[in-house]
Amino acid sequence: MHQLLIDQLREIRRPVEVSLPDGSSITAPPCPAENLGSLEFCADLGIRFPYLGGSMAKGISSVEMAIELGKAGMLGFFGAAGLPLATVEAAIDRLMAAGVPFGINLIHSPQEPDLEQALAELYIRKGVRLVEASAFLALSLPLVRYRVHGIRRRPDGSIETPNRIIAKVSREELAVKFFSPPPEKFLAQLVAEGAISGDQADMASRIPMAQYVTAEADSGGHTDNRPALALYPTIRSVASRLQDEHRYDVRLMTGLGGGIGTPHAAAAAFAMGASWIMAGSVNQACVESGTSPAVREMLAATRQADVIMAPAADMFEMGVTVQVLKRGTMFPMRAAKLYDLYRSCNGIDDIPAPERDKLEKTVFRSSLAEIWQQTRAYFLHRDPRQVERGDRDPKHRMALVFRWYLGQGAHWAKDGEASRTVDYQVWCGPAMGAFNEWVDETFLALPENRRVVTVANNILFGAALLTRASFLRCQGASLPEETLRTEPLEDAKIKEYLR
């Protein structure tokens, strides 16, 4: 009996009829997975399913991952952060040649404004039509330049913007900025530079900076640790308010990321009205990700409480933190120690000798003087201003040396450097543990079976099934627990259900 109901619920394109004890009967309508979010959003992006793969730095969200998601009717963002421009350009060429919808990360780099500008210009030059704008604390000129590039009026008078932005935010004031028109001062600057005409600036003052915003709740990597249940309704409400205020021709839309690694989480996001969902942590654990097999093994063993906040390499001095794996690595503890020393000492020479000794033996495996020489050489090439400052300011020198360790931690992890497993920095959120618990003792427990589309299909399919179960519950059915299980299904089966 239960099995029959499970089978019927799985046929998500057909209605299910259930008899209640009082003899009446109720129906759950069909719920194809493509209808869970916004059909309008999917049509805008040219995708079938409202499922996005978030950007993961250093190509962890790889070209292969974006292509696989694109081929399956979803969309992946290539993780451009931290990569040389030439590598990003080569990735764009491959993505374009694949002929699938894709996007690329445009990450705010307040410490390296030239880099942000170079990326934005590269995207304009290559004709990249969709970026995930993230880490913005305020809008920047390069981002505005990207957004308004090529803006024009259609014959019917409406405004066409070839370049789209999906902004990722965890704070309402940033959602307000993205849902507002580009700031006038930037438009005036672009007109003065001859980048756009006065008429284009006028058109730009009537479009939102981003039509789409992903609310990012507690996630892997940089995160404000906001709970999805509190964050999403606020961001959604901002969209609604700003839509009324500006009366745009287009509709502002919101999606949700952060914590999504199971069908239940996805169903909850869609139930709150998310037009799409976005996953990161669980994708890193998939075979297409640009990380190492060693990290994938570690991720497969991760449980919900195995993540912790640790100092971030990019904004170390400001005390910014990132969410990382703590099981199987000493990175978070060591990085926290470095931050404590940074706060309490004025420079490397100020570190108590026994402490310094320990750092040189265990953490750096080299003298701090030697690490400074390496760091200095690196920055001479990349950003000589850092070297000048480091030479004259011992505290800054210490920060740069400590940041060497934080940065290397991510490289060692991604490259699977066997001599440094205890120092791996692996960005990861609690979604990973939730995923692992869900797939325990199934084929997806094995890292080698985790394919990004298999995972995405199962999350979406399970969400559709649970949504149908909710329809029945709302009408008074008491459903047996077994019918609410969403154990993952192999590709052939899942594709049949999603067809």
Ligand X SMILES: Cc1cc2nc3c(=O)[nH]c(=O)nc-3n(C[C@H](O)[C@H](O)[C@H](O)COP(=O)(O)O)c2cc1C
Nearer to ligand X, 16 or 67 (CB): 67
- For ligand X, the binding residue among 170, 211, 281, 449 (CB under 6 A) is 281
Binding string, 232-271, against ligand X, x = CB under 6 A?
Answer: -------------------------xxxx-----------
Nearer to ligand X, 122 or 431 (CB): 431
Nearer to ligand X, 147 or 168 (CB): 168
- Cβ of residue 324: shortest distance to ligand X, in angstroms? 9
- Cβ of residue 183: shortest distance to ligand X, in angstroms? 22
The tokens of 95 are what?
A: 């993505």
Quick check: 321 binds ligand X (CB under 6 A)? no
Cβ(376)–Cβ(387) below 8 Å? yes
Region near ligand X per CB under 6 A, out of 205-213, 279-287, 354-362, 483-491:
279-287
Binding string, 43-82, against ligand X, x = CB under 6 A?
Answer: -----------xxxx--x------------------x-x-
d(CA 474, CA 78): 40
Q: What are phi and psi of 36, to 5 degrees?
A: -65, -35
- For ligand X, the binding residue among 220, 263, 290, 390 (CB under 6 A) is 220
- Cβ of residue 403: shortest distance to ligand X, in angstroms? 17
List all residues 6 or more positions away from 493 whose beta carbon is below 8 Å from its beta carbon: none
Which helix H or strand E contains 159, and what residues bound it? Answer: strand 159-160
> Residue 110 half-sphere exposure, CB side, CA atoms within 13 Å?
9
Q: How many residues bind ligand X (CB under 6 A)?
A: 29
Nearer to ligand X, 400 or 428 (CB): 428
Q: Scanning the structure block, which residue is given the tokens 């399913």?
A: 49
- Cβ of residue 260: shortest distance to ligand X, in angstroms? 6
Q: Scanning the structure block, which residue is given the tokens 């999350």?
A: 459
What is the identity of the amino acid at 22? D
**Helix, coil or strand: residue 214:** strand
User: Counting beta carbons within 10 angstroms of the beta carbon of residue 347, is it exposed (0 to 12), middle (13 to 18) or buried (19 or more)?
Assistant: middle
Q: Scanning the structure block, which residue is given the tokens 């007109």?
A: 191
Q: Could you say which residues in the range 101-120 bind ligand X, by CB under 6 A? A: 105, 107
**Parallel/antiparallel/unpaired status of strands 159-160 and 152-153:** antiparallel
Quick check: 182 binds ligand X (CB under 6 A)? no
- Cβ of residue 271: shortest distance to ligand X, in angstroms? 18
Nearer to ligand X, 81 or 95 (CB): 81
Nearer to ligand X, 105 or 454 (CB): 105
d(CA 291, CA 286): 9
Nearest of 387, 331, 282 to residue 51 by alpha carbon: 282
Q: Which residue is nearest to ligand X (CB)?
A: 280
Q: What are phi and psi of 128, to 5 degrees?
A: -70, 125
List all residues 6 or more positions away from 275 whose beta carbon is below 8 Å from its beta carbon: 37, 38, 40, 41, 50, 212, 253, 254, 255
- Cβ of residue 218: shortest distance to ligand X, in angstroms? 7
- Cβ of residue 438: shortest distance to ligand X, in angstroms? 14
- Cβ of residue 158: shortest distance to ligand X, in angstroms? 30
Nearer to ligand X, 289 or 483 (CB): 289
- Cβ of residue 119: shortest distance to ligand X, in angstroms? 12
Region near ligand X per CB under 6 A, out of 146-154, 215-223, 246-254, 417-425:
215-223
- Cβ of residue 251: shortest distance to ligand X, in angstroms? 23
d(CA 66, CA 79): 10
For 152-219, give the DSSP string: EE-TTS-EE-S-EEEEEESSHHHHHHHHSPPPHHHHHHHHHHTSS-HHHHHHHTTS-S-SEEEEE-S-
Q: Could you say which residues in the range 404-463 bind ligand X, by CB under 6 A? A: 427-429, 431
**Helix, coil or strand: residue 427:** strand
The packing angle between helices 394-415 and 331-344, to 10°, is 170
**Helix, coil or strand: residue 12:** coil
Nearest of 470, 444, 441, 472 to residue 457 by alpha carbon: 444
d(CA 9, CA 31): 10
Q: Scanning the structure block, which residue is given the tokens 């192999």?
A: 490
Nearer to ligand X, 26 or 309 (CB): 309
- Cβ of residue 146: shortest distance to ligand X, in angstroms? 15
Binding string, 130-149, against ligand X, x = CB under 6 A?
Answer: --x-x---------------
Nearer to ligand X, 51 or 404 (CB): 51
d(CA 213, CA 221): 18
Nearer to ligand X, 56 or 143 (CB): 56
Binding string, 142-181, against ligand X, x = CB under 6 A?
Answer: --------------------------x-------------
d(CA 73, CA 284): 19
- Cβ of residue 410: shortest distance to ligand X, in angstroms? 9
Quick check: 280 binds ligand X (CB under 6 A)? yes
Write out the residues near ligand X by the rule CB under 6 A: 54-57, 60, 79, 81, 105, 107, 132, 134, 168, 216, 219-221, 257-260, 278-281, 284, 427-429, 431
